[in-house]
Amino acid sequence: MVNSVPKSVKLSGAAGVAGQEYIYNDLGEVARTEAFVIVPNVSVSTHAADYVTITVKKGATTLATFTTNSAGGAAMTAGTPITMTLGAGAVGSALELASAGVFDVACAAAGGGKAYDAKIIAALRGIRQ
């Protein structure tokens, strides 16, 4: 059995500042995503107006999201991994990433936002060349 290979990016910003990074598939083959995980370096509380939303996309398809909006979101606790919720578009080939393909990882800040600092990890498993 082949183990997953974690690919990660650091996403951080001051309160109210959006951020964007890319997870790159350098495995040399098509990879299937098994999970997206956030590992916060700082704690971020929930709030109704000042919150962050982290989104992972492949092209225009949203694959996973996480928010600290108090209406349906959750807080981030430093050092505590959070498995991101997969969206409706995260099925079948949408979870496959071509060799040298990228996932777009973005953080939007609502209201005054919150300062954030986290590692976003994609667990990839090579499936074919």
pLDDT tens per residue across all 129 residues of the chain = 457 889 999 999 999 899 999 999 999 999 999 999 999 999 999 999 999 999 999 999 999 999 999 999 999 999 999 999 999 999 999 999 999 999 999 999 998 889 999 999 999 998 876
CATH number of the domain enclosing 98: 2.60.120
- The string of pLDDT tens digits covering residues 78-112 is 999 999 999 999 999 999 999 999 999 999 999 88
Contact 75, 45 (CB under 8 A): yes
Residue with tokens 């074919």: 128
As a whole number of angstroms, the distance between CA 87 and CA 114 comes to 24
40 beta partners: 118
Residue with tokens 């997969």: 86
Contact 77, 91 (CB under 8 A): no
Half-sphere CA count of 87, side-chain side, radius 13 A: 14
Question: Among candidates 79, 66, 47, which has minimal Cα distance to 105?
Answer: 66
Contact 124, 27 (CB under 8 A): yes
The pTM assigned to this predicted structure is 0.92
Q: Over the Cα atoms of the chain, what is R_g?
A: 15
What is the total count of domains within the chain?
1
Amino acid at 31: A
At 51, is the secondary structure helix, strand, or coil? strand
The number of angstroms, rounded, from the C-alpha of 41 to the middle of its chain's C-alpha atoms is 14
Question: What domain range is 24 assigned to?
Answer: 5-128
